[in-house]
Amino acid sequence: MIENKPDAQEFKNLSIQYLAQSIDHILKTEIAISSHGDCAEDDFEEEWENRQGILGNSLIMLFLAMENYIKHKICLVNPLLLLAGEPSKWGSSGEDKDFEDIYIHQFDDLLVIYQEINILMAFIGNF
């Protein structure tokens, strides 16, 4: 049996946190860059170069926000849909397994699952 299945709200909360952090980094970068408006072009370029790591982190956080939102939507249907691999092997040892110890689908697979769930829900809604 699989224990400690996640609640969809956990993924939604993570998504919101990552999105807020991403926006915060972008906003702080914008403020820092715009404060150099009166400076020489070299100073601006240097500040821009210094902020590339922060902007890269912001992009990663934005990706994590999207990934966790997709996990949230899938988890609303059933958290087991997040798990990769063959279901017959999840509990093949006869002992309980923690949800976190089983591999979760990679992002591109999550997108396909999310899309298929949306198509199914649209069909059921129109049935």
**pLDDT tens digit string along 46-86?**
778 888 888 999 999 999 999 999 999 999 999 989 998 87
- 88-104 confidence digits (pLDDT tens): 776 666 677 888 878 88
Nearest to 16 by CA among 74, 88, 68, 85: 68
* Tokens, residue 71: 């996990």
Average pLDDT across the chain, whole number: 86
Give pLDDT, residue 91. Answer: 64
Residue 14 contacts residue 68 (beta carbons within 8 Å): yes
Q: Which domain holds residue 91?
A: 2-126
Q: How confident is the model at residue 3 (pLDDT cuts 50, 70, 90)?
A: confident
Nearest to 85 by CA among 70, 68, 97: 97
Q: How confident is the model at residue 36 (pLDDT cuts 50, 70, 90)?
A: low
**Total domain count, the chain:** 1
Q: How confident is the model at residue 37 (pLDDT cuts 50, 70, 90)?
A: low
Q: Say how far apart CA 16 and CA 65 lie, in whole Å.
A: 7
Rounded to two decimals, what is the model's pTM?
0.81
